[in-house]
């Protein structure tokens, strides 16, 4: 991700270290120290200040990036909302890590899922290539004049962030051409046309401003598609709002996010060889959430297992609630149920994924979902 940031060459990067995103900032600091970028780093004293400085710098009129994880993003919480409400196109790498307590440095999605209502576009990635590509596209999506919203580029801590994978690095010039020049809107540094940013906004205007934000998020769906199309034309890798893997004729489908999708695909390949009609729907854009598109993609599917790598205590997992909402108006609703897995980095092996497909096979055959909600691979259950 730091290499990608070097290629993008943002103006300002305020940042604070936290495992597992520290290395992004360390490596990038070296690029600054070696004069490989024009960027100024602000080595702030906390993540709250990191996001505050991001907002100030972006409002001043330039391109701003940062990176964080877990507790770091939790400390930014208040400012995440301010960033999106001030419509600042900040791009942040979020290396997903479990929230404390107990303190744990490994992957789950409790950090980003908790921020799902903060008004940020959220893009997820299965592997390093996708994370790299998403980061490049995020700049263009965020800065689009119909959007002007911050983007969180999410990937699993350690599993992806600290994993050596072969991937295609693109030519720096091509990337810079693709992302283009930053265009500012009412920059704070324009003293000829002084603007006031961050006014008190009461009952008489607040709701209109919130609705405008919602509209920008709706626009983002088309802009993500458009930018992904342009990216495919230039770099050859094609992305949608979600990935459909062996969905066309699938009867039994898993829906999941991020790195686990790699293993799920392998299991599907094995099972497909034996004629088992299974498939995967992998979320890329969680905000905005493509409800209609997902419902259409699931037409003909008979049962759906939604895997959540975070939970909302006392409720279903966040991905599950979205999927069920998407399916509610579908003419033929598949059976759908929820499993929580992988909290704090607990592994899900290929054999476990085979077990999921065995279980939903039984559910389908008996036409009954025995357990709507359960944990996978947990003691004492």
Partner 1 sequence: MPSLQEMAKKDGAFAGGHRMCAGCPVPIFTKMLTRVTDGYEIVAGNATGCLEVASSIFPYSAWKIPWIHTAFENVSASMSGVETMYRVLKKKGKITKPYKFIAMGGDGGTYDIGLQSLSGAMERGHDLVYICYDNGAYMNTGVQRSSATPMGASTTTTPKGEQSFGRQGTRKDLTRIMVAHNIGYVAQASIHNPVDLSEKLKKAIELDGPAFINLLSPCIPGWKIAPDLAVEVARLGVETKYWPMYEVIDGEYKINYTPEKDIPVSEWMFLQGRFKHLQKPEYKDVVDAFQQEVDRNWNWLVRQAEAVKLLSTEAKN
State the alpha helices, DSSP H only, in 310-379: 318-328, 350-366
Q: Which positions from 309 to 338 touch partner 1 by CB under 8 A, shown as an x/- string?
A: ------------------------------
Q: How far is the CB of 140 from partner 1 (least distance, A)?
A: 20
Is 105 among the residues that bind partner 1 (CB under 8 A)?
no
Is 195 among the residues that bind partner 1 (CB under 8 A)?
yes
For partner 1, which is the closer residue by CB, 55 or 250?
55
The angle subtended at Cα 122 by Cα 189 and Cα 303, nearest 5°, is 165
For partner 1, which is the closer residue by CB, 119 or 334?
119
Q: How far is the CB of 78 from partner 1 (least distance, A)?
A: 6
Number of residues that bind partner 1 (CB under 8 A): 44
Instruction: Let me know: does 279 contact 247? Beta carbons within 8 Å.
Output: yes
Q: How far is the CB of 117 from partner 1 (least distance, A)?
A: 18
Q: How far is the CB of 175 from partner 1 (least distance, A)?
A: 19
For partner 1, which is the closer residue by CB, 16 or 124?
16
Q: How far is the CB of 193 from partner 1 (least distance, A)?
A: 9
Q: How far is the CB of 305 from partner 1 (least distance, A)?
A: 41
Q: Which positions from 24 to 63 touch partner 1 by CB under 8 A, shown as an x/- string?
A: --------------xxx-xxxxx-xxx-xxxxxxxxxxx-
Distances (CA, A) of 379 to 142, 155, 346, 352, 375: 42, 27, 12, 15, 9
Q: How far is residue 353's CA from residue 96's CA, in Å, rounded to a whole number? A: 21
List phi, psi (to 5°) of 205.
-130, -25
Is 14 among the residues that bind partner 1 (CB under 8 A)?
yes
Is 54 in a helix, a strand, or coil?
A: helix
Cis geometry, peptide bond prior to residue 288 (ω within 30 degrees of 0): yes
**Which two tokens mark 97?**
């890590």
Instruction: Let me know: does 364 contact 335? Beta carbons within 8 Å.
Output: yes
| Helix H or strand E segment including 50 | helix 47-61
Q: How far is residue 140's CA from residue 222's CA, in Å, rounded to a whole number? A: 13
For partner 1, which is the closer residue by CB, 58 or 343?
58
Q: How far is the CB of 197 from partner 1 (least distance, A)?
A: 4
Q: How far is the CB of 68 from partner 1 (least distance, A)?
A: 15
For partner 1, which is the closer residue by CB, 60 or 105?
60
Is 200 among the residues that bind partner 1 (CB under 8 A)?
yes
| β-sheet bridge partners, residue 12 | 40, 64
The angle subtended at Cα 270 by Cα 282 and Cα 133, nearest 5°, is 35
List phi, psi (to 5°) of 156.
-75, 130
Segment interacting with partner 1 (CB under 8 A) among 103-111, 168-176, 183-191, 276-284: 183-191
Of 64, 58, 63, 114, which is closest to residue 86 (Cα–Cα)?
Answer: 58
Give, as ranges, the residues between 212 and 271 that touch partner 1 (CB under 8 A). none
Is 180 among the residues that bind partner 1 (CB under 8 A)?
no
**Which two tokens mark 99?**
């929230």
Q: Which positions from 63 to 102 touch partner 1 by CB under 8 A, shown as an x/- string?
A: -x-------------xx--x---x----------------
Q: How far is the CB of 113 from partner 1 (least distance, A)?
A: 23
Task: Give 146's contacts (C-beta < 8 A, 6+ positions apart).
Answer: 216, 219, 223
Q: Which residues bind partner 1 (CB under 8 A)?
A: 11-12, 14, 38-40, 42-46, 48-50, 52-62, 64, 78-79, 82, 86, 188-191, 194-202, 205
């Amino acid at each position: 991700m730091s290499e990608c940031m070097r290629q993008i060459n943002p103006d300002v990067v305020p940042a604070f270290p936290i495992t597992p995103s520290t290395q992004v900032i360390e490596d990038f600091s070296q690029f600054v120290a070696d004069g490989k970028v024009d960027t100024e780093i602000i080595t702030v004293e906390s993540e709250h200040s990191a996001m505050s400085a991001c907002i100030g710098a972006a409002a001043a009129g330039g391109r701003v990036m940062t990176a964080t994880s877990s507790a770091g993003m939790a400390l930014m919480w208040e400012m995440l909302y301010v960033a999106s409400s001030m419509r600042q196109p900040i791009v942040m790498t979020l290396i997903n890590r479990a929230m404390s307590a107990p303190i744990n440095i490994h992957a789950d999605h409790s950090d980003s899922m908790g921020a799902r209502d903060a008004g940020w576009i959220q893009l997820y990635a299965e592997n390093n290539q996708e994370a790299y590509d998403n980061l490049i596209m995020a700049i263009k999506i965020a800065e689009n004049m119909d959007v002007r919203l911050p983007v969180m580029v999410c990937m699993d801590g350690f599993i992806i962030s600290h994993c050596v994978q072969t991937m295609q690095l693109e030519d720096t010039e091509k990337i810079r051409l693709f992302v283009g020049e930053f265009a500012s809107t009412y920059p704070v540094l324009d003293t000829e046309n002084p603007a006031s940013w961050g006014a008190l906004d009461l009952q008489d205007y607040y709701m209109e401003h919130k609705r405008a934000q919602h509209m920008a998020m709706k626009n983002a769906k088309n802009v993500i598609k458009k930018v992904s199309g342009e990216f495919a034309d230039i770099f050859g890798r094609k992305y949608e709002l979600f990935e459909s893997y062996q969905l066309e004729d699938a009867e039994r489908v898993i829906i999941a996010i991020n790195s686990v999708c790699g293993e799920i695909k392998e299991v599907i390949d094995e099972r497909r060889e034996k004629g088992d009609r299974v498939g995967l729907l992998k979320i890329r854009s969680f905000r905005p959430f493509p409800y209609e598109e997902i419902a259409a993609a699931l037409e003909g599917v008979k049962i759906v297992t939604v895997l959540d790598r975070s939970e909302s205590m006392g409720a279903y997992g966040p991905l599950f609630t979205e999927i069920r909402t998407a399916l509610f108006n579908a003419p033929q609703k598949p059976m759908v149920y929820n499993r929580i897995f992988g909290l704090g980095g607990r592994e899900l092996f290929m054999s476990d994924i085979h077990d999921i497909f065995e279980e939903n096979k039984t559910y389908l055959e008996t036409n009954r979902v025995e357990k709507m909600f359960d944990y996978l691979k947990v003691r004492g259950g």
